[in-house]
Amino acid sequence: MELIIIGAGVAFCAGAFAAAIGAVGAIALTGLFALIALLVAPGQGHVDFLGIYAFGLYLGPHVSFGPAVAAAAYAGRRGYLSPDGKDILTPLISVHHISPIVVGGLLGTFGYFLQSGLAQVFGPKVDTIALAVVLICLLGKVFGRRGLREIYAKTPSEVKAFGGRYSWRSPIVWLPWQCTPPMLTLVGIIVGGLGGWIAWVLLKDPATAGLAILPAWAIGVVSFFFFISGLKIPVTHHVGMVAGLATVQSYAVTQSSVSILWGVAFGVVAAFGAEFLSRAFNTFGHGFVDPPAMIILVGSVLISVAMASTSIFRDLFVLPVLIVLAAIAYSIYTHIKHKAFTDRFGVEPVAPAPVANIE
């Protein structure tokens, strides 16, 4: 009982702290501590450092980032931030109101109990931290004027005119600089290759095998410090983590460097998947639902549960190559259609999005 009370109290402090510094700043610190932990010599202290700081009660996304996102949605509803509730960059201490920080703290405590319960139900194969973050973000949407209907909000008429929310021509998107099929394919291949390679390197040493999925994720999250400084950067941590998951599962079956190819393929899947999920649950309506957390959750279920229970990873080349080639073919097709569209109308179909929609 004592540990539960302490955990609830510390989680409140973590959520309040994350809300005070802003959700993007909080997750950047999580990535920084994870990266530092990865540089520590393998051993018990290494694992504890990750568990206590990066993914524990201090900076774990379920007690820091997710609650801070939902607190931003609350602040938007109260008129303290942009009314759409999607400003996850601004530190909430700057709005000069206590209530958003308290909301972040209360949701931090909720996230602590939520993730603990989810871990008991689903076990280690499902990323219950990502699941908790997604659920807390969805809860934040309830602060919108339409309540639960904000979870899958209506498609605006100006978006329908360009083919709907899932069209590559949609003028309202999550990341305007990273939304087209060619760019998604390129980011998926590059970060998937890096994430798959570093996972493969770590898997070859039993002392570091348990950390294989983390480096590409941590580096991607730490890069948010560049965004906070005002630069538009690629958002890649979800791509790296899903690529690492696929590499780990493939390597467990094949013990081969070909597992890197699975990382590349699922890097592409993660890039496209996050874009799809962002248009389904994040881009429209009140509040922010983290697309990277959503695709990391889906990836953990798809790769570690569904695919790992089959013999699909025994396929060394065919399926991952087909996935990459399909993405490249689709990218070429949409590039040609995009050029024809701009030549005809003289405008770009994608309009700028709010600067805070980064995580």
pLDDT digits (tens, 9 = 90+) for 130-147: 999 999 999 999 998 888
More confident residue, 137 or 149: 137
Q: Which domain holds residue 80?
A: 1-151
Confidence of residue 344 (pLDDT cuts 50, 70, 90): low
Lowest mean pLDDT among 56-60, 86-90, 159-163, 336-340: 336-340
My answer on whether 34 and 13 are in the same domain is yes
Identify the top-confidence range among 123-127, 227-231, 272-276: 272-276
pLDDT reported for residue 284: 93
254 and 345 in a single domain? The answer is: yes
Same domain, 336 and 187: yes
- 105 and 172 both lie in a single domain: no
pLDDT at 47 exceeding the cut of 60: no
Same domain, 128 and 219: no
Q: State the number of CA atoms in the 13 A half-sphere of 294 facing the CB.
A: 20
Q: Average of pLDDT values for 56-82? A: 96
- pLDDT band for position 341 (50/70/90)? low
Residue 116 has pLDDT above 70, yes or no: yes
Position 41 pLDDT exceeds 80: no
**pLDDT at residue 146, rounded to an integer:** 86
Instruction: Please report which confidence band the pLDDT of residue 359 belongs to, taking 50, 70 and 90 as the band edges.
Output: very low
Last residue of a domain, one of 133, 151, 169: 151
Domain match, 133 and 207 both: no
The answer to whether 212 touches 244, Cβ cutoff 8 Å, is yes
Examine the domain organization and report whether 125 and 159 are in the same domain: no
Q: How would you classify residue 83: left for phi > 0, otherwise alpha for psi between -120 and 50, otherwise beta? A: alpha
Q: What is the mean pLDDT of residues 171-180?
A: 93
Residues 166, 101, single domain; the answer is no
Res 135: pLDDT: 97
Percent of the chain with pLDDT over 70: 92
Pick left, alpha or beta for residue 326 (phi over 0 → left; psi -120 to 50 → alpha; otherwise beta).
Answer: alpha
- DSSP structural state of residue 352: P
CA distance 111 to 15: 9
Q: What is the mean pLDDT of the chain?
A: 90
What is the tally of structural domains in the chain?
2
Last residue of a domain, which of 131, 151, 171?
A: 151
pTM (2 d.p.): 0.92
**pLDDT per residue as tens digits for the range 186-231:** 999 999 999 999 999 999 999 889 899 999 999 999 999 999 999 9
Name the nearest CA neighbour of 112 among 31, 18, 40, 22. Answer: 18
Boundary of a domain, candidates 117, 151, 185: 151
- Do 147 and 296 share a domain, yes or no? no
pLDDT surpasses 50 at 254? yes
Give me the pLDDT at residue 261, please.
96
Report the alpha-carbon distance of residue 144 to residue 70 in Å, rounded.
11
Report residue 316's pLDDT band, with 50, 70 and 90 as the boundaries. Answer: confident
Same domain, 237 and 314: yes
d(CA 179, CA 347): 16
Handedness of CA 197, 229, 137, 186 (dihedral sign): negative
Do residues 16 and 101 make contact, with C-beta atoms less than 8 angstroms apart?
Answer: yes
Which of 56, 128, 134, 65 has its CA nearest to residue 304? Answer: 128
Residues 209 and 252 in one domain: yes
Q: Tokens representing 73? A: 């949605």
168 and 126 in one domain? no
Residue 152 identity (one-letter amino acid): Y
